[in-house]
Structure 1
Amino acid sequence: MKKRFPVLETERLILREIIETDRLDILEYLSDEEVMKFYGMSPFRDEEEALEEINWYRKIFDFGVGIRWGITLKEINKVIGSCGFHNWDKRHHRAEIGFELSKHYWNKGIMGEALRAIIPFGFVELNINRIQALVEPENFASLGLLKKLKFNEEGLLAQYEFTCDKYDDLLMLARLKKDF
């Protein structure tokens, strides 16, 4: 039996499942070099790559190791970004948070609004105790947002990830359920 994907609603947003018909929306912003600068992947080149990303979202949900919501504005049913949890370790009650947004919607409070919806969902509905984020030190926008959302910086993981033919340092940030 297929699990029902939870839809979340905020003042301006609907957070919903991303489906194959959203592939052009996904391709639009994941092909943008600025959006992909800190994503750990090269900008997408075609619909096939967007479909692979959508299939990954479906797979992590189906296998119970994550969930990724498409961010849509209430007035238009267009996916303008995504956010969610991955590497969900149920035994240790922790997961990583990840997010990205089309640059046309940067600096409008949209991602903060979306994360303020999924963080409580993670703590309460998914019983996550620790939500962690791995962020490149130069990604000032994401670091600022996470700190605004009461994530604490825990330290630098030197050359933690190999992406786009280079090793990346990542900062570990986390927020605990007890501080929620």
Structure 2
Amino acid sequence: MDKTNAFPTLRSERLILRQATEEDAENVLAYLSNEKVTRHMGIEPFESRQDAIDEISWYRTIFEKDTGIRWGITLKGQDKVIGSCGFLNLKAQHHRSEIGFELSEEYWGKGIASEAFQAVIAYGFENMNLQRIEALIEPANISSQKLVEKQGFQKEGLLRSYEFTAGKYDDLYMYSILKRDFNFTG
């Protein structure tokens, strides 16, 4: 990842994706304490402001270590973080990364996750020299499967008992999109 500049801010029609800071902790806590939001994330719902601060600290760490980048999602004209989207497990040598996202329940079904996802994917292909972006999704998470499929991701297979999170083994579908397959016009 080219770190010659500060943390990049992304803009789309309705959204500004920016670096999350400790000042966003209450908003992050608000949506990550909701079991409906965390259900398929492999984490327990957050219980404290410190949980949110630790999450934001992880965002900063992956950026500093060049292993990923995570943007806070805000609506234009409002500076409230309502979700996050970004890359993790970046393998620069192989030009690939995983993508992850979550959104506050009150904003579900409005196309916001799709709009943020589109901006982040475009950034990965255009600015991070990615060739492949992967999404690992629990089989029960139908809405996320639909979101990635809408963006052109292809389901490659089922990774059985791939992760041990929140006290259980999770099967995960592997989805991917290649740079050549991505529609940069949205």
Deviation at 1:121, TM superposition (A): 0.5
Question: 1: CA distance between counterparts of 2:113 and 2:75?
Answer: 11
Backbone CA RMSD of aligned residues: 1.1
Deviation at 1:7, TM superposition (A): 0.3
Deviation at 1:123, TM superposition (A): 0.5
Question: 1: CA distance between counterparts of 2:111 and 2:100?
Answer: 16
Question: 1: CA distance between counterparts of 2:34 and 2:109?
Answer: 17
Deviation at 1:2, TM superposition (A): 8.1
Instruction: Report if aligned partners of 1:153, 1:171 keep a CA contact under 8 Å in 2.
Output: yes
TM-score normalised to the size of structure 1? 0.98
Question: 2: CA distance between counterparts of 1:17 and 1:59?
Answer: 12
Q: Find runs of 4+ consecutive structure 1 residues off by over 3 angstroms.
A: none
Instruction: Report if aligned partners of 1:159, 1:169 keep a CA contact under 8 Å in 2.
Output: yes
Instruction: Report if aligned partners of 1:3, 1:62 keep a CA contact under 8 Å in 2.
Output: no
Corresponding residue for residue 174 of structure 2: 172
Question: 2: CA distance between counterparts of 1:34 and 1:72?
Answer: 20
Secondary structure of the residue aligned to 1:91 is helix
Corresponding residue for residue 150 of structure 1: 152
Question: 2: CA distance between counterparts of 1:165 and 1:115?
Answer: 29
Deviation at 1:179, TM superposition (A): 1.3
Where does structure 1 lack aligned partners over 5 or more consecutive residues? none
Deviation at 1:27, TM superposition (A): 0.2
Question: Any idea what the Cα deviations from partners look like across 1:122-176, whole Å, max 9, x if unmatched?
Answer: 0110001100000000100000000000000000000101111111100000000
Q: Percent identity?
A: 54
Letter in 1 for 2:122: P
Instruction: Report if aligned partners of 1:134, 1:171 keep a CA contact under 8 Å in 2.
Output: yes
Deviation at 1:3, TM superposition (A): 4.7
5 Å-filtered alignment, 1:1-180, equals 3-180=5-182
Question: Any idea what the Cα deviations from partners look like across 1:72-98, whole Å, max 9, x if unmatched?
Answer: 001211000000000000000000000
Question: 2: CA distance between counterparts of 1:39 and 1:179?
Answer: 26
Question: 1: CA distance between counterparts of 2:81 and 2:73?
Answer: 5
